[in-house]
Amino acid sequence: MHVTELTAFLVPLPLKREIKHASFTRTESINLLIRCKLSNGTIGWGEGVPRPYVTGETPEGCLQQLSQSNLHPALMQSASNWPEVIAICDALQFNNDSDDSRGCGSNSLRCAVELSLLDAFGRHFGQPVSAVVPHVAEAAEIHVRQPRVRYSTTITSSGAKSERISALKMRAYGFAQCKIKVGVDGQDDPSRVARIRRWIGGGVDLRLDANEAWRPEEVAEKMRPLREFGVTCIEQPVAHDQVDALASLRESIGVPIMLDESLTSRMDAERAIELGTCDLFNLRLSKCGGFLSCLRLAALARASGLGYQLGCHPGESGVLSAAGRHWASSVRDIRYLEGSYDRHLLTTLPTQEDITFRYGGWAPALDSPGLGVTIREDWLRQNAKAERTFVVEAQ
């Protein structure tokens, strides 16, 4: 069984509310969806969320890369089991003309294509995508089967009234963990975090995300008044081009540091480990190059004594939500888990299934073949801003 066709779609997904943090303000997400067709007609779907300020990718740039890449040698390989599917995914080579010194310039595209393959072959095998995990050699030490997972929530930068309503809703909904966006110009973070802590309750695990907002010399000063609210982590406090400075600041900051914008690839991960710039990796399927890459990065973190979370990009559809669910229900010791916001954030669900998390952030593992979600193709073709088909033929 081999791939015969890939079709790429660029799809705008409007958000129910504005998402604001120190790096960007967003009211919609333009996502890349890939439809994979196997030689027996089986269809699989994948998704990527290109973010120029993270990996340098744009939605249109992903289409261009796909059209310029010779994927035939990989996609013409036949697969009858998961190790052979992994070999196909690992053989994918994307043509990236831009400066890509960090090895992340095709990550969203790779994620979308890889997930479409895992979904299609999973459906063909009659097995969920999570069944691939035991076949990834590097993942042996982190593999576990869990019947359910628990997601955390996020409070973005907004007015005091909106934050109070959000915090009280999250408290009533029973979340155990919450991330607060900090570092936005004009915001008094100590007052905000104090209010949110009071409203959300003392039993909720609070962590902070600065989205590269601070200079290295001010991080310890910024964190000093925030530590008293029992925060358990600060995510990406400085810009990527200043991230090496964190190695000498970790002790003075006083809480664990998580890298996000500075953790996109194995090169980033190895540098962080070598220099000692962080305590945790924020892994996102699209940002880090897909399901398999994130497994390997989590294994690398664990072997190096570091922790990891599985994050998400605002605006992910049910395809990436399902992929994240398969990943999270198969990996041990995830420090924080983000995702499956679907109906809470998107004005329309592109999938027939609604796999939004339930009360308390809890959600069951998915056990249907492939990803376990179905794209509403009529809706997709009506709303896609671009569509391009690539036929895979013997050369």
Sign of the Cα pseudo-torsion (280, 157, 12, 371, in order): positive
**CA pair distance 234, 226, nearest whole angstrom:** 10
Which residues carry a binding-site annotation? 209, 235, 260
The gap from C-alpha 287 to its chain's centroid, in whole angstroms, comes to: 6
Find tokens 């209010």 and name the residue: 195
Q: Determine how β-strand 43-48 pairs with β-strand 25-38.
A: antiparallel
Find tokens 């398999």 and name the residue: 292
Q: Which amino acid is at 298?
A: A
Question: Taking a C-beta distance cutoff of 8 angstroms, is the pair 300, 269 a contact?
Answer: yes
Return the SS3 of 313: coil
**CA pair distance 52, 105, nearest whole angstrom:** 9
HSE, side-chain direction, 13 A CA sphere, residue 392: 23
**CA pair distance 123, 44, nearest whole angstrom:** 8
Which residues carry a binding-site annotation for Mg(2+)? 209, 235, 260
Q: Which amino acid is at 140?
A: A
Rg (CA), the chain: 20
Interacting residues of 69 by C-beta distance below 8 A, sequence separation 6+: 93, 94, 95
Question: Taking a C-beta distance cutoff of 8 angstroms, is the pair 76, 87 a contact?
Answer: no
